Amino acid sequence: MGSQFVKGTYVPGANHSRLRPKFYELLGLWQGTINIQLPTETDEAILIPNERVPGCDPIDLDSNQDFLVRPCILKGFAGYQILPIDKTTSEPRGYHAYKPIEIALKRKIQLEPNEELEVQLQEFEG
């Protein structure tokens, strides 16, 4: 399995993570996401993680939503790339069309708005 590196800009999010405590606990993650805006020319395949995790909090059960996740590393810290999807159709949800990725790490880190970041996305077939 190989890795892909992507660069983008940190953009503060809507704080939906506060509504998903079970999801973050299940994956062993700090409860929060880091939203990284990627360039519009980013390959679509990079945006789609490869492992499905069922939604387990009321917000996701009510919205018929699961998640795709992919292990990643940001600033030396392990975590996951997270993409909400429709449970029935597997279509991406959220702002997917605008090329952001959401990253959740095993611990909280400090970031500045508009900070340039590089993420190592792992487990690509290669």
pLDDT digits (tens, 9 = 90+) for 46-84: 889 989 999 988 888 888 999 999 999 999 999 999 999
Residue 9 has pLDDT above 60, yes or no: yes
pLDDT category of residue 37 using cuts at 50, 70 and 90: very high
- The CATH number of the domain where 64 resides is what? 2.40.30.30
Centre a 10 Å sphere on the Cβ of residue 116 and count the other Cβ atoms it contains.
Answer: 10
Tell me which residue of 20, 43, 46 sits closest to 32, measured CA to CA: 20
Percentage, residues of the chain above pLDDT 70:
94
Name residue 27's amino acid. L
**Residue 123, pLDDT score:** 87
Range of the domain at 29: 2-124
Burial 31-66 (b: 16+ CB within 10 A, else e): ebbbbbbbeeebeeebbebbeeeebebeebeeeebb
**Residue 45, pLDDT score:** 81
- Tallying the residues shown for the chain, one arrives at 126
**Residue 20, pLDDT score:** 86
**Residue 57, pLDDT score:** 86
Hey, CA dihedral for 42, 31, 56, 71, is it positive or negative? positive
What total number of domains does the chain contain? 1
What is the pTM for the complete model shown?
A: 0.90
Tokens of 29: 């993650």
Residue 95 has pLDDT above 70, yes or no: no
- 94 compared with 115, residue with greater pLDDT: 115
